[in-house]
């Protein structure tokens, strides 16, 4: 059994936070929580978007478990998912007047990607 370094635990916590943000987006697309455009809140319903964000929340929960188990495949999967989400959040930031909805996940994904690429993190997963 591998020991879990503190850095891997931090990555797992960040992945869990992103799962919470994805769950919040699910509730926004189901119309339970409002979107904000500047100071104006509005509600929207999109079942497809809610299902996609629900899938993303499930992926982050699964990824958190993989990270806590120090699964070597979790390192690469986390890097790929972070790049994918950075692209999506960047497009969201371009398309909105307010950075409030996308700024925190954008920053968290950026921090995760930087931390995943560090040599010590690669070594913890046995890939570097």
97 pLDDT above the threshold of 60: no
Angle, vertex CA 59, rays to CA 53 and CA 61, nearest 5: 105
Helix (H, G, I), strand (E, B), or coil: what is residue 35?
strand
**pLDDT value of residue 99:** 66
pLDDT band at 81 (very low <50, low <70, confident <90, very high): very high
**pLDDT value of residue 75:** 87
**pLDDT value of residue 123:** 84
36 pLDDT above the threshold of 80: no
pLDDT band at 124 (very low <50, low <70, confident <90, very high): confident
DSSP string, 37-105: ETTEEE----HHHHHHHHHHHHHHHHHHHHHHTT-HHHHHHHHHHHHHHHHHHHHHHHH-S-STTTHHH
Quote the mean pLDDT of the chain. 84
**pLDDT value of residue 3:** 73
Domain layout of the chain by residue ranges:
6-124
- 26, 57 Cβ separation under 8 angstroms: yes
**pLDDT value of residue 51:** 94
pLDDT band at 66 (very low <50, low <70, confident <90, very high): very high
The CA dihedral of 15, 34, 92, 20, to the nearest 10 degrees, is: 0
């Amino acid at each position: 059994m591998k020991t879990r370094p503190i850095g891997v635990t931090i990555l797992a916590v960040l992945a869990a936070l992103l799962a919470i943000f994805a769950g919040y987006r699910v509730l926004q697309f189901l119309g339970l929580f409002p979107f904000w455009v500047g100071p104006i809140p509005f509600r929207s319903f999109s079942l497809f978007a809610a299902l996609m964000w629900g899938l993303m929340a499930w992926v982050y929960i699964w990824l958190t478990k993989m990270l806590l188990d120090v699964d070597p495949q979790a390192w690469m999967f986390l890097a790929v998912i972070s790049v994918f989400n950075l692209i999506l959040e960047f497009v969201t930031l371009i398309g909105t007047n307010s950075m409030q909805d996308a700024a925190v996940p954008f920053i968290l994904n950026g921090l995760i990607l930087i931390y995943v690429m560090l040599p010590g993190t690669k070594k913890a997963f046995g890939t570097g």
